[in-house]
Amino acid sequence: MNIQECRNKDGKITSYRVRVFDRRDAKTGKQFFKTLSIKYNPEKSETQNRNEAEMRGWLFEKSISERMSSDSNITFDCYAEYVINNKKREGLSPSTLYVYRCMKERLAPFIGHLRLRSITPGALNNAYDAMEKNGVTPKYVRGLHVFTHVVLGVAFKEEIIPRNYAAAATPPKAERPRVAALTETQMRTFFSKLFADDKNYVYQVLFSLLLVTGCRIGEICALSWRDVDFEEGKINICRHFISGEKGRYIVHGCKTAAGERELFLTDGVVKMLKKYREYYADRAFRRDSEWRGGEDEAVFASFKKPGSHIDPNTVRMWLKNFLSKNNLQKITPHQFRHTSISLQLQAGVSAPEAARRAGHARPDITLSIYGHVLKTNDKHCCEVVAKALPGWPQPKSLPKTHQEPLAKPTEV
């Protein structure tokens, strides 16, 4: 604690300034202080004023120390709930809030009971090791670490703890999985099996559209007929499914800011959708009494709730059963998106165009995820540049050692 006298032009004391150490930045070492101004009482002597300033300064210093000590006694689980509620008021998306709550529950057995002041880098590392021993994947442990970093970051910002100890912890490395695009053989085999049975017609259209658009499964399942423009030959992607505390439901907007987009379709795709629309109308007519219509009538309707949108998990389960029935290699709906974007880049479509169609905010995001597929275009790149040469250089004459073939060794 430091007490300084503040004087006016005449040299008389007007107030005392109490300066108390608050904390030190863990990265830069910079010190932070809190100050208190105490007005000088002219009716009392200078000694009395000084003593009063020291007493109030001591109480000020004690209050700072006790506040931090009291707040840091709160458990991680309670403080995480406080942070999540604050994020909710700030407008964080329902899906992210749902993920945060799931992570809070997942962390509860390991660090939920710990007080904030007890959460050190060592305690976090021990918790991460315990998680892996209990079967939690390294990728998910790293996700839990990110959430812990967010919670402790708020505690540090609110000056409850002196630093964010999660920044010094060492979570397991979780390498980004390589994009698993479908091979040509996989696609040909899958679609030949899919088209072989007329009972799969709805899914034939769904997976065909999933591939040609490169959309996410939640975006395709959220499509309504009003989003399809047959005259212009395009579809409007403006809604998607999310998982929240109320289950899975459709929200306006997309996963990213650039997700809302219009995608143009080829004449063949438009023709496919027109035929499917006729089939859809006939199906709705036959089940009119239970069909749920309206302006948001689903393109891909639920089989249990006719007219309402099919759940993405229903598609995932159907695909899993279909692959098992036909003894095909495991495929996920998201791989059709990977395949679509990979095929575009390999065909020479520019990164900005592919990013816009995929709904990525920036082209560099597309390249960071799918950049490795461009390596297959390396020979093509060489051929394009080589065309600029008028020919290949040839030597005017070769050395004799190169002109005459080597004599065969004499047999003994």
Q: Of 346, 376, 391, which residue constitutes the final position of a domain? A: 346
Please check whether residues 237 and 340 belong to one and the same domain: yes
Task: Identify whether 408 is part of a domain.
Answer: no
Task: Identify whether 197 is part of a domain.
Answer: yes
Distances (CA, A) of 157 to 62, 104, 375: 21, 20, 45
Place of tokens 């910079």: 30
Distances (CA, A) of 354 to 333, 344, 357: 19, 7, 5
Distance of CA 212 to the CA centre of its chain: 24
Task: Identify whether 325 is part of a domain.
Answer: yes
Please check whether residues 49 and 9 belong to one and the same domain: yes
Please check whether residues 208 and 287 belong to one and the same domain: yes
Q: Of 346, 379, 399, which residue constitutes the final position of a domain? A: 346
Q: Using one digit for the tens of pLDDT, what is the confidence trace for 335-378?
A: 999 888 888 888 888 888 888 888 887 877 777 777 666 555 66
Distances (CA, A) of 161 to 158, 164, 358: 8, 7, 42
Q: Of 346, 363, 385, which residue constitutes the final position of a domain? A: 346
Q: Using one digit for the tens of pLDDT, what is the confidence trace for 274-323?
A: 999 888 888 777 766 555 555 568 889 887 777 788 999 999 999 999 99
CATH number of the domain that residue 152 is part of: 1.10.150.130
The CA R_g of the chain, rounded to the nearest whole Å, is: 33
Please check whether residues 82 and 64 belong to one and the same domain: no
- Evaluate whether 252 touches 235 at the Cβ level (below 8 Å): no
Using DSSP bridges, classify how beta strands 31-39 and 13-24 pair: parallel, antiparallel or unpaired: antiparallel
Identify the burial level of 74 via C-beta atoms within 10 angstroms of its C-beta, where 0-12 means exposed, 13-18 middle and 19 or more buried.
middle
Task: Identify whether 294 is part of a domain.
Answer: yes
Average pLDDT over residues 233-254: 78
Structural domain boundaries enclosing 98:
76-168
Please check whether residues 102 and 7 belong to one and the same domain: no
Distance of CA 59 to the CA centre of its chain: 47
Please check whether residues 116 and 199 belong to one and the same domain: no
Which pLDDT score, from 0 to 100, does residue 22 have? Answer: 72
CA dist 16 and 296 (Å) reads 69
Task: Identify whether 269 is part of a domain.
Answer: yes
Which pLDDT score, from 0 to 100, does residue 62 have? Answer: 67
Which pLDDT score, from 0 to 100, does residue 399 have? Answer: 61
- Evaluate whether 336 touches 358 at the Cβ level (below 8 Å): no
Which pLDDT score, from 0 to 100, does residue 65 have? Answer: 63
- Evaluate whether 357 touches 263 at the Cβ level (below 8 Å): yes
Place of tokens 């997309």: 254
Which pLDDT score, from 0 to 100, does residue 362 have? Answer: 80
Which pLDDT score, from 0 to 100, does residue 12 have? Answer: 87
Q: Is the pLDDT of residue 157 over 50?
A: yes
Please check whether residues 306 and 221 belong to one and the same domain: yes
Instruction: Give SS3 for 128.
Output: helix
The count of other CB atoms within 10 Å of the CB of residue 84 is: 19
CATH number of the domain that residue 261 is part of: 1.10.443.10
CA dist 20 and 39 (Å) reads 17
Please check whether residues 193 and 339 belong to one and the same domain: yes
Q: Which long-range contacts (CB under 8 A, 24 or more apart) does 197-205 make?
A: 200/322, 201/276, 201/279, 202/300, 203/315, 203/318, 203/319, 203/322, 205/272, 205/273, 205/276, 205/300
Please check whether residues 191 and 119 belong to one and the same domain: no
Please check whether residues 188 and 333 belong to one and the same domain: yes
Which pLDDT score, from 0 to 100, does residue 412 have? Answer: 46
Please check whether residues 200 and 331 belong to one and the same domain: yes
Q: Using one digit for the tens of pLDDT, what is the confidence trace for 37-61?
A: 888 888 888 888 888 888 887 777 7
Tell me what the pLDDT averaged over the chain comes to. Answer: 82
Which pLDDT score, from 0 to 100, does residue 383 have? Answer: 67
Task: Identify whether 59 is part of a domain.
Answer: yes
Q: Is the pLDDT of residue 105 over 50?
A: yes
Which pLDDT score, from 0 to 100, does residue 410 have? Answer: 55
Q: Using one digit for the tens of pLDDT, what is the confidence trace for 181-230?
A: 888 889 999 999 999 988 889 999 999 999 999 999 999 998 988 999 99
Strand extents, DSSP E, 216-301: 228-229, 234-237, 239-244, 247-252, 261-264
Which pLDDT score, from 0 to 100, does residue 145 have? Answer: 95
Task: Identify whether 81 is part of a domain.
Answer: yes
Please check whether residues 200 and 131 belong to one and the same domain: no
Task: Identify whether 158 is part of a domain.
Answer: yes
Above pLDDT 90, what percent of the chain?
Answer: 31
Number of domains in the chain: 3
